[in-house]
Every structure is written in structure tokens, then in C-alpha cells.
């Protein structure tokens, strides 16, 4: 799992409590250029190894209006065929539509909805058994 979620420490604990303990972390695009290796046609080693990518659609690059925006990373992961859990808000300028490859969880982030979204990809039987709304 790859994450660009700023509050990763709490989320990592949620995942471990849910039995998902192979978690990698990336802070996302950072200064001074706010670009991501995966956005320049390169291959990101973390997303390449990830079963599920968790991305916050509110990244530092978006706040700085520089570098790689969250929507571009989301599109890149989607085009790679990655399973994605995107953290968004009603105020977000990009509002992706959930499908078989993409789950959306809304801010403020709640543990149960987040774990349900991840489990839909990590444990597909979890979603089929009606445990995911």
C-alpha cells in the first residue's frame, strides 16, 4: 500500500489493527519542485509494489500551486491499473467517480469507512459479503 496521506501515523495504526501490516509511506510531492517521479513518466517504486494506493487529494503541491497536482497522480495510478482509495472532501475541485478500481472516502476521515474501502480491495470477499456499503 502506498500513501500520500499527511496524517499517515494514525492511518497506519488503523490498517495494522485491521490486519494490514505491509504498509509503505510516501509524503507526496515536496519542495522545492513539488514534483513526483511517477508524474514525469518515471516509475515510482512504491506504487509499482503496492496492491492498493491511498492518496489524499489535498497535497502540498496543490496548496503551493506548483509541481504535480493530486489529480495527476490519481490519473497516473488509475492508468497503471492500480486499486486506489482516494481521500477527498465535498470542497475538492476534482471529484472522481468511484468504480471497480477506485473508492472514495470523504473528509473528515472516519476509521470505519476508510478500512471498509481498503478492505474492498485487500479482502474482496469482505465487500461481497455485504460488509461494505
pLDDT tens column, 69-102: 999 999 999 999 999 999 998 766 677 888 999 9
Contact 24, 2 (CB under 8 A): yes
Check residue 92 and give its pLDDT. 66
The DSSP 8-state label assigned to residue 130 in this structure reads I
Domains of the chain by residue range = 2-131
Architecture of the CATH domain 2-131:
3-Layer(aba) Sandwich (3.40)
Q: pTM (2 decimals)? A: 0.84
DSSP codes of every residue in 78-117: HHTT-EEEEEE-TT-S--PPPBTTEEEEESSP-HHHHHHH
The DSSP 8-state label assigned to residue 120 in this structure reads H
Amino acid at each position: 500500500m502506498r500513501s500520500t496521506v499527511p496524517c499517515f501515523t494514525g492511518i497506519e495504526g488503523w490498517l495494522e489493527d485491521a490486519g494490514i501490516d505491509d504498509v509503505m509511506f510516501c509524503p507526496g510531492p515536496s519542495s522545492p519542485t513539488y514534483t513526483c517521479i511517477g508524474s514525469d513518466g518515471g516509475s515510482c517504486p512504491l506504487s509499482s509494489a503496492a496492491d492498493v494506493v491511498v492518496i489524499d487529494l489535498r497535497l502540498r503541491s496543490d496548496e503551493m500551486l506548483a509541481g504535480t497536482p493530486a489529480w495527476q497522480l490519481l490519473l497516473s495510478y488509475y492508468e497503471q491499473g492500480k486499486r486506489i482509495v482516494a481521500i477527498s472532501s465535498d470542497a475538492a475541485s476534482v471529484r472522481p467517480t468511484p468504480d471497480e478500481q477506485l473508492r472514495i472516502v470523504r473528509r473528515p476521515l472516519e476509521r470505519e469507512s476508510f478500512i471498509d474501502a481498503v478492505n474492498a480491495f485487500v479482502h474482496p470477499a469482505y465487500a461481497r459479503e455485504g460488509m461494505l456499503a
